[in-house]
Amino acid sequence: MAAQHGDGTATQLRLHGRGGQGTVTAAELLAVAAFEDGLYAQAFPSFGSERMGAPVEAYCRVGSKPIRTREPVARPDVVIVQDPTLLGQVNLFGGLTSSGFVIVNASRPVQELDLDGLMGLIPLTNIVSVPATRIALEHVGRPTPNSALLGALSALTGLISPAGIIHALEHRFAPAIADANSRAVREAYDVVVAERGEVISAAAN
């Protein structure tokens, strides 16, 4: 997907998680990754109470020219769900554009997820489930799904590059941690490429 729409407006992303899961950090890493790719980006938290465990949102816009608007993202092109327990609990997909993309951190395939309200709204090939927490535990040793989710975003949309994400991680973390997270990015990227291949060939059959 291109970094901005035909009318010049930025691609809009909304991230859903729970307080304490690093939802804002994920949006920030995404914005820095886009910056590393030479794009303009803006990330900001939702302006609600942040309580541990409570549903939270963060927003990101990515474009090829400076972004001026300050309104929250109400019509996202991409929704990223950090925590599968939010499915069916929170209006995750409100305003999602008809050509939009959805990435869910889950260990079950898309067909087994509670995606009421999403089916028929966007093409099935635009939805992926990626076991980001498992990938994080394997590579980073902590249940921090952000890097893997961004790797999945890169594979699904092409909006940002894996190299951009890895640069963003190197800016933020010590070398060993950045390296572990980079491995999570690459694995999630590969998982999504493989999963999409299967979905697309199944759809063709």
Partner 1 sequence: MLQQIEGSRAVASAVALCRPNVVCAYPISPQTHIIEAIGAMVKAGELDAEFVNVDSEMAAMSVLIGASAVGARAYTATASQGLLYMMEAVYNVAGLGLPAVMTLANRALGAPINIWNDHSDAMSVRDAGWVQLFAETNQEAIDLHILAFSLAEELSVPVMVCVDGFILTHAIERVDVPEQTQVDRLLAPFEPRHVLDPHDPVSIGAMVGPDAFTEVRYLASIRLSRALDVLPPLAQRHSDELARSVPSLVSPYRLDDADVVVVAMGSVLGTIKDVIDEMRDDGHAIGALGVSCFRPFPKDQIRDALAGASRVVVVEKAFSLGYGGILATDIALVLSGRGIPIHTVIAGLGGRPVWAASLRTCFNEAVDATLSETTFLDLDEEVVAREVDRMAATRRSGPSAENVLRDLAERSRT
Binding site for partner 1 (CB under 8 A): 24, 27-28, 31-32, 34-36, 40-45, 47, 66-72, 74
Closest to partner 1 by CB, 59 vs 93, is 59
What minimum distance in Å lies between the beta carbon of 161 and partner 1? 15
Residue 49 CB, nearest distance to partner 1 (Å)? 8
Helix (H) or strand (E) holding 79: strand 78-81
Least Å distance, CB 93 to partner 1, is: 18
- Find the shortest distance in angstroms from Cβ 67 to partner 1: 7
Can you give 25-61 as a three-state secondary structure string? HHHHHHHHHHHHCCCEEEEEECCCCCCECCEEEEEEE
Pairing relationship of beta strands 55-63 and 11-18 according to DSSP bridges = antiparallel
Of the pair 51, 108, the CB lying nearest partner 1 is at 51
Q: Which is nearer to partner 1, 57 or 187 (CB)?
A: 57
> 3-class DSSP state for residue 103?
strand
* Side chain identity at residue 90, one-letter code: V
Closest Cα partner for 188 from 160, 146, 158?
A: 146
Q: CB nearer to partner 1: give 33 or 113.
A: 33
Of the pair 61, 186, the CB lying nearest partner 1 is at: 61
Name the minimum Å distance from CB 35 to partner 1.
Answer: 4
Find, among 190, 173, 192, the residue nearest to 181 by Cα: 173
Q: 32: which 2 tokens?
A: 């820095």
